[in-house]
Amino acid sequence: MATIPFPKKKVPRDVAQRELQILERTYPQAVTALDYTSTYELLIAVILSAQTTDARVNMITPILFKKYPTPGKLAKADPADVEQIIKSSGFFRMKTKNIMNAARELVEKYGGEVPREREQLESLAGVGRKTANVVMSVAFQEAAIAVDTHVFRVSHRLGLTLGTTPRQVEEDLIALVPQEKRRLASHWLILHGRAICKAPTPLCAKCPVNELCPTPPIIAKMNAARVKTAAGRSGPSAKGAATARPARSVSAKKKR
């Protein structure tokens, strides 16, 4: 299927809030899929999750954290050893530099503890706004909304935003979600993106917000256009085949 365009208009506010309420009921166990036992482990896991899946990270981190259970130990690790452990996550050289430098900064600046303030978190190697938001919302229960590819896609398809950047999407979601639920909102959207609203083809027939979502009509229009195009292509060729002069048989050629 061709890429599904996002809706060009946001749904009304009351519809948007009803969509989010349905997702909240659909995914009551809204937690991160990353495995961790400490804020340090969560931070490193989120850095490693860039451009890969949480499932892949969960295969790597038990080995990594068994060997380097504290920021101090990771900061002093042999980079080649860390690279070998995390290689399957992709971009492993850059990620090795980031997690080792972040661990070193935790030791040198924050006594080995992960800071809870956004400015301090974003000062760490490999930590941008999304990673900071994950740590703040998951580890410290702060009202932060992390926008990853799932959140970006699902928010657009539901008509919750027209934002062209993750920050704009985040701001639109903040305007819709009550403060006490913001730390959970990312998980509703991520879980929905993984289970139903998949890229490139969403499972609209199974979607609990199908009747409110503006994307099914867009898909229906695309499908109708595709059927019409296919019919147009087959029509002339079929007609041409019907009116074309029949090929002479071998016996007919011999009779000439």
Q: With contact defined as beta carbons under 8 Å apart, do 56 and 81 qualify?
A: no
Mean pLDDT computed over every residue of the chain: 92
pLDDT of residue 218: 96
Alpha helices in the chain, H assignment, sequence order: 13-26, 39-48, 54-67, 71-75, 79-86, 92-110, 118-122, 129-139, 149-157, 166-176, 182-195, 215-243, 250-255
Q: Tell me, yes or no, if the two domains 13-27+145-206 and 39-139 fold the same way.
A: no
Residue 206 pLDDT more than 60? Answer: yes
Q: Where are the domains of the chain?
A: 13-27+145-206, 39-139
Residue 252 pLDDT more than 50? Answer: no
Q: Of residues 9, 66, 95, 130, which has the active-site annotation?
A: 130
Residue 32 pLDDT more than 90? Answer: yes
pLDDT of residue 235: 61
Q: Of residues 9, 67, 78, 148, which has the active-site annotation?
A: 148
pTM of the model: 0.86
Q: Return the structure tokens found at 184.
A: 């959970």
Angstrom CA distances, 205 to 24, 187, 201, 208, stand at 19, 22, 11, 9
14 part of the active site: no
Q: Which CATH number fits domain 13-27+145-206: 3.40.50.300, 3.40.1170.20, 1.10.1670.10, 1.10.3720.10?
A: 1.10.1670.10
CA distance 134 to 191: 15
pLDDT band, very low/low/confident/very high, at 103 (cuts 50, 70, 90): very high
Residues 6+ apart with CB under 8 A from 158: 11, 16, 19, 197, 209, 212, 213, 214, 215
Residue 196 pLDDT more than 80? Answer: yes
Q: With contact defined as beta carbons under 8 Å apart, do 159 and 213 qualify?
A: yes
Name the DSSP class of 249.
P
pLDDT band, very low/low/confident/very high, at 248 (cuts 50, 70, 90): very low
pLDDT digits (tens, 9 = 90+) for 49-86: 999 999 999 999 999 999 999 999 999 999 999 999 99
Side-chain-facing half-sphere of 133: CA atoms under 13 Å: 21
Thinking of the domain 39-139, which architecture would CATH place it in? Orthogonal Bundle (1.10)
From the CB of residue 231, how many other CB atoms can be counted at a distance below 10 Å? 10
pLDDT of residue 245: 40
148 part of the active site: yes
Residue 1 pLDDT more than 70? Answer: no
Residue 244 pLDDT more than 50? Answer: no
Name the DSSP class of 178.
-
pLDDT digits (tens, 9 = 90+) for 212-241: 999 999 999 998 988 888 887 766 554 444
